[in-house]
Structure 1
Amino acid sequence: MPERSPMKIVILDRDGTINEGRDDYVKTADEWYPLAGALDAIARLHQAGWHVVVATNQSGLGRGLFDMATLNAMHLKMNEALARLGGRVDAVFFCPHAPEDGCECRKPRPGLFTQIGRRYGVELAGVPTVSGTLRHLQAGVAAGCQPHLVRTGHSADLDAAGLQELRAQVPGLVVHEDLAAFADTLLIGHHRKVGEPRSKPAGEAVARLADPL
């Protein structure tokens, strides 16, 4: 009997990777808007046999900005839009705590990733994880994942110097223009040069890498 193929799983950040982020937090389903091409990318991954899982800090819960019913409504909106494209997110793992709570699940700590590994019974070594924020990538690397940066969210305006700094902090980083470009890379099996970031004019401010969640 041949050995069963290992589970194909990819772990995505949410705000700034799948949907538009906000400095004042995404607080309602009406404020949840998908980024161009992101849901189609998830649908393509799902149809190719990948299990798509989301790991997201949602400290708006701990800060009292919204409740669980509202968070569920955001994810219902996402899942309904994905279903229309023939896609799905298998599960959303979230940290509900405020920064001062000192929990193990708030990224950049790897607790959410550890939970995902246990739930699916998989070793996370080499599992691709995708985000536009430093803390998600750090959490993924701490859990053994392969880090993929998308140039959306807080990294949308990242200049060459900022990218170099990020590469120094995240070993093995692979850079893509957006989630659609990442899906292309994963499904085709090689990194397309068009995914490399464009240099910005000298003196342009480096984007904030730490998300506010």
Structure 2
Amino acid sequence: MCPRTRYLLTQSLLQAWLWQYRAADTERAHQDFLRVLRREPAGRSKAMQDGIDFEDLVTAKCASTSSTDKHKWAAGVEQVAQVVQGGAMQVPLSCRRQVSGVPLLLYGRLDVLKAGEIYDIKFSHRYRSGKYLDSPQHPMYLALCPEAAGFTYLVSDGHDLYQERYTRQDTPPIEETIVDFLHYLDHSQLSEIYFKNWRAR
């Protein structure tokens, strides 16, 4: 008997879906979601590139592979590096779940895992308290890493560091979001696109 196909699910796919309900330009957000659902390549925005560059600088600082002291974001890099120094970086994790009868493989890559805490490094020119409250990222990653006690977003603007922490007790199970996501796909007649493009390897 052939094993039943599992379908990959990432927080970035869930994020693209949820963004449709929060974006000012809902039509553009919907088209962006469809692109992610079809797994079509897309260019990087300046905000995305800034985030990648900042995280690379933090990694280099922790590894002492290059000097970041004269970079315009040096103060922010130093603050984040002090928190995550000594942690395991870029940790890939996956786990199996069956939700609404669909066999899934949840997958994510933790920026940092240190002393039972998951850290995610963000770069943003604007920050407000509770910015990531409704993000699917911390529920997903806490499901992927059952030994972690909490999840902390480390948000830097290159100068100041903001920390936003969520414990298991105040985090809804990711399955609740997944149920709504699968229902949306079915109701919008998008399930076949998902099943075609997100088969787990």
Q: Normalising to structure 1: TM-score of the pair?
A: 0.26
Structure with the greater alpha carbon radius of gyration: 2
Task: Choose between structure 1 and 2 for higher RCO, CA contacts under 8 A separated by at least 6 residues.
Answer: 2
Determine which structure has the larger strand proportion and give its number.
2
